[in-house]
C-alpha cells in the first residue's frame, strides 16, 4: 500500500490515467453481456463505470484530502442525486431512450426487468457516491463543484458557448439553402421536452460530474504544474478521447471503432476550450460540469450542421491566441475570477 501511495504522489497523472482506464474499460466492455442490444439498458449500465471520478476519489483519499464519507453533509448530497438518477433510469426503462429525438420516436421500450432495475439502482448509487464524495473533498479543485458564486458572465459562457458555434453553423447552412433536420424528431412537444429534460439531468448528474471530476478536477491542474495550458489540453484531450473506445464496441456509439481517433482529435479541441474556461474562472469545476452538460445537450435544442465546425475551430484558435496558451501557464485555484 505504501508503494502505491508513493507512486501516486510522484506520478499523479499517470496514476490517474491508469486507474481511470482500469475502472472504466472492464465495466464498459461487459455492458453487452448484460444489456445485449438494448441501447437503453446499455446506457444505464454504462453509468456505473465513470472511472475519471472514481479514480480521483481513490487518489484524493491517498493524498489525505478525501471526503468524510457517511457524515450528515455527505448523506445530504448523496440522497437527492441517488433518487433523481434512479428515477431517470427507471423511467428510461419504461419509455425507452435514445441518443436523439428522432431515434427516441422509433424506440421500443423493453420495460422493467430484474437486470434493468438492479442496474438502475447500482448506477444511481454510484452517481450519488461520486457527487457526494467529490463535493465533500478537501481538495479546492474538487470542492469547487458546489461553489456557485461565480460572475454571471462565466455562467453564460458555460451555458451558451456550444450554442454559439451551432447557431453560426445553422446560419451558414440556411444561407446555402441546405436541408436542416428537426431537433424534435417529429415528437409531440410535451414528449420532446420531457426527453430533453431527462437527457439534460442525466448528463449533468452522471456524465458531466463523472467525467469532469477527473479531467478538470484532477488531471488538468496536475498537467499545468509542468506544461503550458495548450500542451496540457492536448495531452488531456488524447486521454479523454481514447477513454471512450469501449463505447464504439458496446453499442452506445453507432460509429466504427476506428473513429475513436477522430473522437480523440475532437477532444483535443474541446479540451482547449475547457482549459480556457477553467483557467479564466480560477479553477471552477462546477462551470466545467455546466459546459459539459451544455455541450452534450445543445444539439437536442439546436440542429447540428456540418458548418458548425467552423465556429468551433474559430473559438479554438481565438482562445489560444488571446490567452497565449502555448507559453503562459495559468495554474488554477479554487478562487473566483474577477
Domain segments of the chain: what residues?
A: 2-323
Residue 328's pLDDT is what? 64
Flag the least confident range among 5-9, 65-69, 167-171, 189-193: 5-9
Q: Residue 173 — very low, low, confident or very high, per pLDDT cuts 50/70/90?
A: very high
Residue 336's pLDDT is what? 44
| pLDDT beyond 60 at 229 | yes
| pLDDT beyond 90 at 338 | no
φ, ψ dihedrals at 269, nearest 5°: -65, -50
Pick the residue with more confidence: 210 or 254?
Answer: 210
Rounded Cα gap, residues 45 and 51, in angstroms = 13
Average pLDDT over residues 272-278: 97
Q: Residue 60 — very low, low, confident or very high, per pLDDT cuts 50/70/90?
A: very high
φ, ψ dihedrals at 225, nearest 5°: -70, -20
Residue 110's pLDDT is what? 87
Rounded Cα gap, residues 55 and 66, in angstroms = 12
CA-CA-CA-CA torsion sign (214, 333, 153, 131): positive
Residue 153's pLDDT is what? 97
Rounded Cα gap, residues 249 and 99, in angstroms = 16
Distances (CA, A) of 208 to 159, 275, 293: 13, 15, 6
Pick the residue with more confidence: 288 or 326?
Answer: 288
CA-CA-CA-CA torsion sign (256, 17, 266, 89): positive
| pLDDT beyond 60 at 331 | no
Q: How many residues can be counted in the chain? A: 338
| pLDDT beyond 50 at 334 | no
Q: Residue 333 — very low, low, confident or very high, per pLDDT cuts 50/70/90?
A: very low
The mean of the pLDDT values for the chain is 93
Q: Residue 181 — very low, low, confident or very high, per pLDDT cuts 50/70/90?
A: confident
Residue 179's pLDDT is what? 87
Amino acid at each position: 500500500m505504501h508503494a502505491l501511495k508513493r507512486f501516486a504522489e510522484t506520478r499523479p497523472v499517470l496514476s490517474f490515467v491508469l486507474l481511470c482506464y482500469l475502472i472504466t474499460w472492464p465495466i464498459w466492455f461487459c455492458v453487452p453481456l448484460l444489456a445485449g442490444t438494448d441501447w437503453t439498458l446499455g446506457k444505464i449500465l454504462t453509468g456505473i463505470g465513470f472511472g475519471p471520478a472514481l479514480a480521483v476519489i481513490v487518489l484524493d483519499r491517498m493524498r489525505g484530502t478525501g471526503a468524510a464519507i457517511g457524515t450528515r453533509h455527505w448523506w445530504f448530497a448523496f440522497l437527492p442525486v441517488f433518487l433523481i438518477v434512479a428515477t431517470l433510469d427507471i423511467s428510461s426503462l419504461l419509455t425507452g431512450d435514445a441518443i436523439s429525438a428522432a431515434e427516441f420516436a422509433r424506440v421500443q421500450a423493453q420495460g422493467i426487468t430484474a437486470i434493468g432495475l438492479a442496474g438502475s439502482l447500482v448506477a444511481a448509487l454510484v452517481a450519488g457516491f461520486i457527487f457526494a464524495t467529490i463535493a465533500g473533498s478537501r481538495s479546492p479543485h474538487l470542492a469547487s463543484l458546489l461553489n456557485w458564486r461565480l460572475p454571471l458572465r462565466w455562467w453564460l459562457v458555460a451555458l451558451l458557448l456550444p450554442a454559439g458555434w451551432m447557431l453560426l453553423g445553422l446560419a451558414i447552412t440556411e444561407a446555402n439553402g441546405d436541408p436542416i433536420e428537426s431537433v424534435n424528431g417529429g415528437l409531440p412537444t410535451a414528449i420532446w421536452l420531457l426527453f430533453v429534460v431527462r437527457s439534460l439531468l442525466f448528463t449533468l448528474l452522471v456524465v458531466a460530474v463523472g467525467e469532469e471530476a477527473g479531467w478538470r478536477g484532477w488531471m488538468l491542474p496536475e498537467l499545468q504544474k509542468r506544461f503550458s495550458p495548450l500542451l496540457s489540453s492536448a495531452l488531456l484531450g488524447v486521454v479523454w478521447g481514447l477513454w471512450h473506445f469501449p463505447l464504439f464496441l458496446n453499442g452506445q456509439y453507432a460509429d466504427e471503432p476506428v473513429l475513436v481517433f477522430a473522437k480523440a482529435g475532437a477532444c483535443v479541441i474541446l479540451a482547449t476550450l475547457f482549459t480556457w474556461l477553467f483557467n479564466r474562472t480560477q479553477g471552477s469545476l462546477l462551470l466545467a460540469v455546466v459546459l459539459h452538460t451544455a455541450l452534450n445537450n445543445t444539439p437536442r435544442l439546436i440542429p447540428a450542421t456540418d458548418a458548425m465546425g467552423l465556429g468551433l475551430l474559430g473559438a479554438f484558435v481565438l482562445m489560444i491566441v488571446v490567452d497565449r496558451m502555448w507559453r503562459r501557464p495559468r495554474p488554477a485555484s479554487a478562487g473566483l475570477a474577477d
